Amino acid sequence: MPILVVGSVALDTVETPFARRESILGGAASYFSTAASLYDQVNLVAIVGSDFPHEHLDYWRSRRVDLTGLQIQEGKTFHWTGRYHMDMNTRDTLDTQLGVYGDFHPVVPQSYLTSQLVFLANILPDLQLEVLDQAPSARLTVLDTMELWIITAREKLTEVIKRSDVLLMSEEEVRQYTGLSSTLAGVRQLFTLGLKYIIVKLGSYGALLFGADGTYFSAPSYPLEEVIDPTGAGDAFAGGFLGYLSTVEPLANGIYDPDDLKRAVVHGNITGSFACSDFSIGGLHNLTMDDIATRYKELVACSHFDPNWQSSRR
């Protein structure tokens, strides 16, 4: 079941306390497409400038990423520059050059219209709405966003949330959007907008899944020896999550078996962990389903505990 994604394809300059890389492949849609294409075909809607290296396009073509919806326009590719703090969980944006994204309008090709799963990666809410208008057959829409849109485009963002099934937010974003300090209270307020599921991303601490039906799941994060670059981890998470869901049958439109949803979140944590293990998409580049399965088993082993609260050794 092919997955439609709209979002940024970018060139990033990233500084961590330990290293710096210039003009490496970045952007939410890049991370998402690379991770999700491990599971199923990805239909990409985005824009790059004439300076964008063709090797990245060749790589995606060699995977299952359809580039029919990728516009290539005279000008500069979107460029983000950021610096991570010592904890590798927080960062500062040093510079943003919109380039060809400045007057981008997404066009969904005819051949993408069979996509039943849609990922609206972090991008201006107006553009997310333009894609939804062009994707009438979507059965599951997953939405990501960021602090900037919560502050500057709250009304449009709310419109997108109302038309989405699954919302991805960090704890801080839940607080910012709802004005509530309690994550549980914030999530409850968000559900009044009609969402079916909400996933609260906790960075290196895993993720929380909430269902409008009462589903609650706390997913462990995969313990990494070393975080090289956490950029794109949330988008790679979305790629594993939606990628996994594309391989199973829903119970109804946008509704999944709780076991499948939990499994999808664990897959997302795993693809997210691989994204952190190198700069750019390096950690996802040669990933196989065997690598995913290995980490899945490790996560079961390190997070399950005896269901009896008392010991037999008394």
Q: Which of 227, 233, 284, 287 binds a second copy (CB under 8 A)?
A: 227
249 belongs to the binding site for a second copy (CB under 8 A): yes
56 belongs to the binding site for a second copy (CB under 8 A): no
Q: Are 279 and 294 in contact (CB under 8 A)?
A: no
Residue with smaller CB distance to a second copy, 133 or 257: 257
206 belongs to the binding site for a second copy (CB under 8 A): yes
Q: CA–CA separation, 292 vs 39, rounded Å? A: 11
Place of tokens 């710096």: 20
Q: Identify residues 282-311 at the interface with a second copy (CB under 8 A).
A: 292-293, 296-297, 300, 302-307, 309-311
Instruction: Give the contacts of 234 (CB within 8 A, at least 6 positions apart).
Output: 28, 144, 168, 170, 201, 272
Tokens of 37: 């294409």
What character string, x for contact with a second copy (CB under 8 A) and - otherwise, covers 207-226? -x-------xxxxxx-xxxx
Q: Are 120 and 144 in contact (CB under 8 A)?
A: yes
Least distance from a second copy to the Cβ atom of residue 48, Å: 33
313 belongs to the binding site for a second copy (CB under 8 A): yes
42: helix, strand or coil: strand
Please give the angle made by the CA atoms of 61, 64 and 65, to the nearest 5 degrees.
Answer: 60
Beta bridge partners of 216: 210
Residue with smaller CB distance to a second copy, 120 or 275: 275
What character string, x for contact with a second copy (CB under 8 A) and - otherwise, covers 165-204? ------xx--x-----xxxxx----------------x--
Q: Identify residues 254-283 at the interface with a second copy (CB under 8 A).
A: 257, 259-260, 262-263, 266-267
Q: Are 129 and 156 in contact (CB under 8 A)?
A: yes
Which is it for strands 65-73 and 79-84: parallel, antiparallel or unpaired?
Answer: unpaired
Binding site for a second copy (CB under 8 A): 17-18, 86-88, 171-172, 175, 181-185, 202, 205-206, 208, 216-221, 223-227, 247-249, 257, 259-260, 262-263, 266-267, 292-293, 296-297, 300, 302-307, 309-311, 313-314
